[in-house]
Structure 1
Amino acid sequence: MADWVLIPCLKALFADFDRIAPSRDHASDGSIGDAAHQHEVSDHNPDETGSVPIHDADHINEVHAIDVDDDLRESDLTMEKCVQFLLARCRSGAEKRLRYIIYNRRIWSASSGWVQKTYTGSSPHTEHAHFSASYATNLEASTASWHLEDIPVALTAADKTWITNTIAAQTKAAIDSRLGEIAKEVLVDYRIAGTTTPGSTYQRNLSELTGDVWSAAMRGTTKGGDPLPPEGVYAQILEDLAILTAKVDALNKQ
C-alpha cells in the first residue's frame, strides 16, 4: 500500500492518552486498517488509496481513525471515563474534531447528536475504543489539546503524601521568612550590665542580640565593642531574647 500518514489531530489524541496514562497498554492500539478493512469502507483506510466514507480537500494519503487500548493501567482512570468526557465536550460544542466513537458495543456519532446507540459490528470494541475524526482540513490538522488531563480522578495515597509534604514545606518556608522579617523590625532597649557604652541603653533586634553572643564568645567583647562584665552577660542576653521572642510571637498572631 502507498505511503500514508495519520491526521495530526489523532496523533495529538494518542499523545494525550500517553500523557495521562504513561504506563497504558498499547497492544490494541491501531490506525491503518488490516486486510479486512481494506475490503470495506472504513476510516481506517488511507483516503487517497483506500475505500473511505468521505474524501477531503487535500491530496495527502491520510488515515482518519485510531483505536486506543482499553487498559490505561491507572487506578481511577478508565476508558469509559475518557469516552464519556470526550462525548460531553462533543455535545457541548467544545470539541468538533470527532465524527463518531465506538466503545464496548455502543456507538455515538455527530450525525445523530451524539446519542448512544447499540453497536452491532463484527468487533464489539471491548478491548479498545475507536475514534473517527473529521475530514475538514482545519479540524483534521488541529493539534490543540483534547483536555484529557481535566478528567476528574481520585487521589492516590502517593498523591496525598506528595501534596501534604509540599504544603508543609511551603508553609514552613513562608513562616520562617515572615518571622525573619518580623525579627528584624522588633527592637528592644538593651545594655549589658556593667558595660560602659555612653548613654543609658542602645537598641538591638533579634539577629543583633544573637550577634552579641557570638562576639562575646569569639572576641571577649559585645558586638558594640564594650568589654564584658565579670558575670551575667549570657543571662542578660537570654533575658532580652525572651522579651524579643514574645514580641515576635505577639506580632505574628495579629
Structure 2
Amino acid sequence: MADWVLIPCLKALFAEFDRIAPGRDRASDGSIGDAAHRRTVSDHNPDETGSVPIHDADRVNEVHAIDVDNNLRESDLTMEKVVQFLLGRCRSGAERRLRYIIYNRRIWSASSGWVQKRYTGASAHTEHAHFSASYTSSLEASTASWHLEDIPVALTAADKAWITSTIAAQTRAAIDARLGEIAKEVLIDYRVPGTQTPDAPSYQRNLADVTADVWAMTMRGNTRGGDPVPANGVFGQILEDLAELQAKVDALKQ
C-alpha cells in the first residue's frame, strides 16, 4: 500500500487558498512528509503505512495535514488573517474539521480549546502555516466551504474603480429605464381632455397623437383631429404667403 491520497477536506482548503490568492507563492506548500517526518509520529505521514497519532476507520492510505506558503501576494490578505479567521470559526463551533494549526512559533489545538500556545518544534513555521485535520470519516471527507472568501480585506484601487464603474453603469440603466417609464406615462398614458375627434367622440387623444397632428399639419395639411388647415398644409401656406409678399415687393419696384 505505497500510494497515498490527501483527505478531501484539505484538498478543498488548498483549493480555497488558490481562489482567494491565485498568485500566491507555493514554494512552501506541502502535504506528505519528508524523511524527517517519516521518523516521527506526524499527520504528514500516510495513516496506513506511516507513523500517525490516530488511525481512522477506513483502509485508505491518507495524509491528514498540509502546509500552505505564507506569502499570499495579496495587498491586504495575509496568512495571519487567514489563521485568525479559521481560529474564530473553530472556537465558535462553525468549523470542526481541524485538529490544530501551527504558524509563526504558535500552536492552537482543538484539545486545548484553541488557546494560543508557544510552539517550540524544529520548524518555527514562519514560512508556511500547518493545518492538521480530523480523522473522523465524515469530517475528513467533507468538502464544504471553508469560507475563506468571507475574510474582510481592504479594497484595492482596482476594486474601487470597478465598483465605481459598475455603480455608474447601473445608475445610468436605472435612469434610462425610469425615463422610459415617464415618457410612456406622459406621451401614451396621459389623455388630453377636449381632443376627441368627430370619428371617435369618446376617445381622448394622448400627447403622441397630438404631436403627430402637428407633424401632419406641417407636412400633409390634415389632422386626425379634423381641425381645418390650409389645403397644402402649414408649409404650403407659408410658401403662398411668401409668394404674395414677393409679388408686392416686385410691384413696388415698378
Secondary structure at 1:44 match in 2: coil
Matches within 5 A, 1:1-254: 2-186=2-186, 187=190, 189=192, 203-205=205-207, 220=220, 228-230=233-235
Secondary structure at 1:230 match in 2: helix
Q: State the shift of 1:27 in Å.
A: 0.7
**Structure-1 separation of matches of 2:210 and 2:165:** 34
Check whether the contact 2:13–2:146 (CA below 8 A) recurs between aligned residues: yes
Pick closer, same or farther for the CA change 1:210–1:56 going to 2, 3 Å: farther
User: RMSD of aligned C-alpha atoms?
Assistant: 2.9
Pick closer, same or farther for the CA change 1:142–1:132 going to 2, 3 Å: same
**Structure-2 separation of matches of 1:167 and 1:177:** 15
Pick closer, same or farther for the CA change 1:44–1:222 going to 2, 3 Å: farther
The two structures have a TM-score, normalised by structure 2, of: 0.79
Q: State the shift of 1:211 in Å.
A: 6.4
State the one-letter code of the partner of 1:204.
Answer: N
Question: Per-residue displacement from partner, 1:26-75 (whole Å, max 9, x unpaired)?
Answer: 11100000111111100000000000000000000000000001000100
The two structures have a TM-score, normalised by structure 1, of: 0.79
State the one-letter code of the partner of 1:229.
Answer: V
Q: State the shift of 1:190 in Å.
A: 9.6
Q: Which has the larger radius of gyration?
A: 2
Q: State the shift of 1:204 in Å.
A: 3.3
State the one-letter code of the partner of 2:93.
Answer: G
Q: State the shift of 1:202 in Å.
A: 6.1
State the one-letter code of the partner of 1:230.
Answer: F
Pick closer, same or farther for the CA change 1:204–1:109 going to 2, 3 Å: same
**Structure-2 separation of matches of 1:232 and 1:93:** 88
Pick closer, same or farther for the CA change 1:103–1:190 going to 2, 3 Å: same
State the one-letter code of the partner of 1:158.
Answer: A
Between the aligned residues of both structures, percent identity stands at 76
Check whether the contact 1:190–1:204 (CA below 8 A) recurs between aligned residues: no
Q: State the shift of 1:230 in Å.
A: 2.3
Structure 1 residue ranges (4+ consecutive) displaced by more than 2 angstroms after TM superposition: 187-191, 201-205, 207-217, 219-228, 230-233
Pick closer, same or farther for the CA change 1:5–1:178 going to 2, 3 Å: same
State the one-letter code of the partner of 1:166.
Answer: T
**Structure-2 separation of matches of 1:183 and 1:86:** 54
